[in-house]
Amino acid sequence: MEMIANVGKILGVLVSLAGLFKFVKEWILTPEEDQKKVLSKLKSWLNNGFFVLVTVMCFATSLVSMWQVYEFGVSEDPLTRKAVLSLIASLWNALVYLSFGVGIPVAIKVGRLREARRAAEAKA
């Protein structure tokens, strides 16, 4: 059984390498004009994906920190210095990551609107 599992893994790696070589070959044979179009689309998708990922991670970190604050509030354990310091750190994390999670998308949107407005004024 182990041998079959190992053969499956090896075949998976070989198929992946074959696909990679096929991609490189096709990319080399593609005209330069089409390559530029593909790269600009890919860059756009990666920028948008990275933007969404950063925003989601900011909100997730903020939610985890808020959950820790909630757990501190409902805990029946006696107060300790460690618990109070953890509460302060969790509050700080929640505040900072939530502000960045909201602030970064708003700042990027405002920047894009300004660029669009300047481009429209330059054309007029």
If one counts the domains in the chain, the total is 2
Co-location of 26 and 36 in the same domain: no
Co-location of 63 and 21 in the same domain: no
The count of other CB atoms within 10 Å of the CB of residue 122 is: 7
C-alpha–C-alpha distance, residues 70 and 60, integer Å: 15
Co-location of 55 and 81 in the same domain: yes
Co-location of 65 and 25 in the same domain: no
Residue 40 pLDDT > 90? no
Co-location of 75 and 91 in the same domain: yes
In this prediction, residue 1 carries a pLDDT of 59
> Pick the residue with more confidence: 85 or 54?
85
Secondary structure of the chain as H, E, C letters: CHHHHHHHHHHHHHHHHHHHHHHHHHHHHCCHHHHHHHHHHHHHHHHHHHHHHHHHHHHHHHHHHHHHHHHHHHCCCCCCHHHHHHHHHHHHHHHHHHHHHHHHHHHHHHHHHHHHHHHHHHHC
Domain that holds residue 8: 1-30
Q: Tokens 């501190």 — which residue?
A: 72
- Average pLDDT on 4-33 reads 82
